[in-house]
Chains A and B, each alone.
Chain A
Amino acid sequence: MKNMESLRTQCALQGALSAANAIGGVIPVVHSTAGCAYQNYLAGGLANGGQGAGLAGGLAVPSTNIVEKHVVFGGSARLREQLKNAVKVFEGKLFLVLSGCTPNLVGDDSKAMVEEIETQGYPAAYVQASGFHGSAYTGYELAVRSLVDFASKKTASPLTTVKGLINIFGIVPGQDTFWQGELLSLSREFSAAGLILNPLFGFNQTVENWKNIPHASLNLSLSTWGSGIVEYLKEKFGTPALKRSFVPVGAEDTKQLLLDIAGKLNFDEKQINNHAEKKEQEADYFISQFAEAYFNFNFQTDFSIAGPLSQAVGISRFLAYNLGFTPKTIIITDAPQLKDEPIGDILPHIDTKVNVFFTEDGNEISGLLKKGNPGLILGSTIDRITAEEKGAAHLSISLPVSDRIVLNRGYAGYSGALNLIEDIGTVLLKRRTQK
């Protein structure tokens, strides 16, 4: 049966909009009915760690708000008028038109309208991202492709390769709650290891960063949602691609990723090893501190987790291999198409039978989380109810996240793992005091 109840991710239009909102200077212009962008704001801006949606987000998103007459007679003229006016009122480096279900069903030629405003000298691009094209993750992919096409036209020639410059994809703004934190944390780790990460989204990222994409020596994808993109870039610019299915949390996985990159780039591994060593010492220091609480309060537990694949797997691996926690159930909420792919080797060497499910149906998820009485549940804020019923500790890590504010916090990399330890330790402690 199709996913149907309490769906966690939004639609393609909304995913594309979240992506646009995460790039400085991009003014999204939504060509659709009024509620499309508004629902994105409610679900992605407010129910996602209260991050909001940036200056050109929320109620500020320009939207054509088409009504019946535009459906019957076509809405291209409405879009033309909207664009003509938006470029005057909004300060933008790129006007990104996102067209939704309705204009696409009635066949509006949004692309022509975008080309028109471009010939008038305004930077503009177009994403056809109807809600019926799929989930917000698909919308992210669609938006990234359009942005790549737009920005690479403006890339300064010659297309020289900058050694160590890496574009990163697959961490999805607005859907992955910790996207900003992960990007910041990975940027830090990469630069300490002598690499330069081009995060493309979030703080300090503008269209200028997108223009550098063709200069990169590697394109890195950390989830299913980046693999199509890095393939596309390989075709387009001949840049090598490295694909991993999860975001690394903690020392081992982070180091492994850096070494894989070094291998791909023929990069000196020494700097990476030096950096890793320092970081591991730091981590060991804090983990040894954590030991007091761990044993005083008997933190060792089994856990179940629900979230997008890249995150659920990254976190599970850290908990399993570093904290001695036992995974019971892993529910992948973003990638139903992977159902048939083996992911058994994602958690090797664990002496337990892990159940892996693919669903984003809220009802199914809560049913699955209840099974096996895990002591810790990592999922959405909605899963808190299930956790409370079962007396489990609960931490919100995936959409919707509405019981915590998440700004630049992340779990990726070396320092991210410490964040994760703090957050999990806190909820385990809280459950203890609540009992």
Chain B
Amino acid sequence: MPSLPSRIIAIAERRLGSIDAYYGPVQPLIDGYRDGQFFAQRIRTLSQTKGDEITVILQMLHQIKNTVTVVHGARGCAAMQNYLESYDGHGSPVFSTNLTEDNSIMGAEEVLRKTILAAVERHKPEAVFVVTTPIVAINNDDVQTVAADLGEELNIPVVPIYADGFKSKTSANGYDIAYHSIAGFLTAEKRATDKKLVNIISSDGSEEDVHKIAELVTSIGLNPNIFPRFGLLSAIRNSSNAVATIGLKPDSRVIGEFLEKERQVPYYLLEQPVGPEATSRWLGEITGKTGNKSEALEFIKSREKKKFDELVADPDTNLSGRKIYISGDIYTAIALAGLVKEFGGSVTGLSIANIDKNSVALLDENYKKNGWPFNIHIGDGQVFEQANILSRDTPDVYLGAAGQAVHAARLGIPSVNYAPMPLYGYDASIKLIRAIVRACSNRSFVEKLGSYTSVYNRSSWFGKNPNWYIKQEVG
């Protein structure tokens, strides 16, 4: 039985004061979270599509080895599995209960049961994840009971993940929901602390980056225990015995804090090791936090730095004079801002997916350090707002993840999608820097795109403040 106090976890808005809509100066945002207060909720009266809890959860579960995922809902709630199978490497099978109108009215517990049984029969997984979606959140299928019964019958964990798909405005809440269930169903009691074992939480990102992290951790004499993505269930079970948990992004917080509170494994959320300086700091932090006095560390630092300096001598990696706009989750965006600075460029604007009472500290710290002169945008996707902002800021390059870069490019701005690029470690990010330089030096493609028709009513929309459709929430 799960050792969790409650079946579900409060949404990010109520738990963390998470905000996903804002455009304006940084200071009021920081002030809004002072003394345990939450910044007042904002809503959009015009919005564009974006990922949600389900999409975040599916990309995460897809790379947990020897498992299957059953999406309990209409087939569209699992549609992205085609994308995952195509571009994210061959991962764990995704099933859909493929609910029909009839199921939505009459309930579909039996369909769920049958699908789980078939999935287990076909793949003999070590665990099954069941992800709930809007239909079952509304018709209130008793997923908990089906999961518990089958867990017993099949003698493997059947882990319900109550995504629902409309709980929070913040898609990252999906990580919290998933980790809440993973903590309850898949971790084990602590046996004994292994002084060399470090948990590395991999919620998203490329396999290459995860391997890089493993390599870095190994280089200072520790054993990485990587999960959930690219990891085995045994890594999750073993996590209670680690000496520390390292999070790469705040999405690791729920599992990190669970291990800290329930299994006495301290949790550290460190800045991302992107570029030489951050990577050295990162390694230093880990050796410190794990009590591991690695002589190797200084050697690695100086060796890698030297290698790196040689790379940078190359004119293809010089960003001086380049103004760069960065979009992404706050941890990545700030890590990239540091990187851009390291290579001589400057940041002209930031758009981050969401912010909350925890991550605001990072914003505060960086704002104090850099005194950004620009307004900050908070929005997941919402490329119409970004287009408006970019029409004012006119950066030399736009750095964004996945589907966002193309929309900046459609405005004629050289753009780079960093999502598929390796970022972690001393020199991986050099690829990104080169891509930025390349984007600036040959603009023919984006210029063509920029002259093509636009979907926006530019004269009317670009004349308005980008925050025109962001309102403080009232009843």
| A–B contact via C-beta, under 8 angstroms | yes
Residue A325 is within 8 A (CB to CB) of chain B in the complex: no
Q: Name A130's contact: one of B78, B101, B406 (CB within 8 Å).
A: B101
Which A residues touch B134, using CB under 8 A? 33, 71, 101-102, 105
C-alpha gap A12/B135 in the complex (Å): 14
Verify A3–B98 contact, CB threshold 8 A. yes
**CB proximity of A380 to chain B, nearest CB, Å:** 8
Verify B76–A59 contact, CB threshold 8 A. no
Residues of B58-86 at the interface with A, using a CB-CB cut-off of 8 Å, are: 73-83, 85-86
Verify B76–A47 contact, CB threshold 8 A. no
Contact sample, A vs B, 6 pairs, CB 8 Å cutoff: A6-B93, A35-B53, A41-B49, A55-B455, A59-B403, A65-B49
Please choose the segment from B27-35, B235-243, B456-464 that sits at the chain A interface, where 4 or more of its residues have CB less than 8 A away.
B456-464
Which A residues touch B98, using CB under 8 A? 2-4, 7
Verify A4–B86 contact, CB threshold 8 A. no
Which A residues touch B456, using CB under 8 A? 89-91
Verify A36–B138 contact, CB threshold 8 A. no
**CB proximity of A21 to chain B, nearest CB, Å:** 11
C-alpha gap A334/B350 in the complex (Å): 44
C-alpha gap A69/B291 in the complex (Å): 48
C-alpha gap A65/B139 in the complex (Å): 20
C-alpha gap A58/B417 in the complex (Å): 15
C-alpha gap A9/B81 in the complex (Å): 11
Residue B52 is within 8 A (CB to CB) of chain A in the complex: yes
Residue A368 is within 8 A (CB to CB) of chain B in the complex: no
Residues of B135-168 at the interface with A, using a CB-CB cut-off of 8 Å, are: 135, 137-139, 165-168
Which B residues touch A43, using CB under 8 A? 79-83
Please choose the segment from B115-123, B186-194, B264-272 that sits at the chain A interface, where 4 or more of its residues have CB less than 8 A away.
B115-123
Q: Name B85's contact: one of A6, A33, A90 (CB within 8 Å).
A: A6
C-alpha gap A356/B331 in the complex (Å): 52
Residue B343 is within 8 A (CB to CB) of chain A in the complex: no
Q: Name B77's contact: one of A8, A9, A39 (CB within 8 Å).
A: A39
Q: Name B76's contact: one of A39, A52, A381, A385 (CB within 8 Å).
A: A39
**CB proximity of A214 to chain B, nearest CB, Å:** 28
Residues of A26-67 at the interface with B, using a CB-CB cut-off of 8 Å, are: 27, 30, 33-44, 46-47, 52, 55-56, 58-67
Please choose the segment from A131-139, A244-252, A287-295, A427-435 that sits at the chain B interface, where 4 or more of its residues have CB less than 8 A away.
A131-139
Interface size on A, residues (CB 8 A): 74
C-alpha gap A48/B100 in the complex (Å): 25
Verify B166–A400 contact, CB threshold 8 A. no
Verify A101–B50 contact, CB threshold 8 A. no
Interface size class of chain B, counting residues whose CB lies under 8 Å from the partner chain:
35 or more
The residue in chain A whose Cβ has the minimal distance to the Cβ of B471 is: A81
C-alpha gap A33/B52 in the complex (Å): 8
The residue in chain B whose Cβ has the minimal distance to the Cβ of A34 is: B52
Verify B94–A5 contact, CB threshold 8 A. yes
Verify B381–A59 contact, CB threshold 8 A. yes
Which 4 A-B pairs give the minimum distances between C-beta atoms? Answer: A11-B76, A131-B74, A402-B86, A35-B52
Q: Mark B7-28, 1 if CB is under 8 A from A, else 0.
A: 0000100000000000000000
Which A residues touch B86, using CB under 8 A? 46-47, 381-382, 400, 402
Verify A14–B79 contact, CB threshold 8 A. yes
Residue A10 is within 8 A (CB to CB) of chain B in the complex: yes
C-alpha gap A33/B381 in the complex (Å): 15
Which B residues touch A41, using CB under 8 A? 49, 403
**CB proximity of B430 to chain A, nearest CB, Å:** 27
Q: Mark B205-240, 1 if CB is under 8 A from A, else 0.
A: 000000000000000000000000000000000000
Which A residues touch B51, using CB under 8 A? 34-35, 38
Residue B441 is within 8 A (CB to CB) of chain A in the complex: no
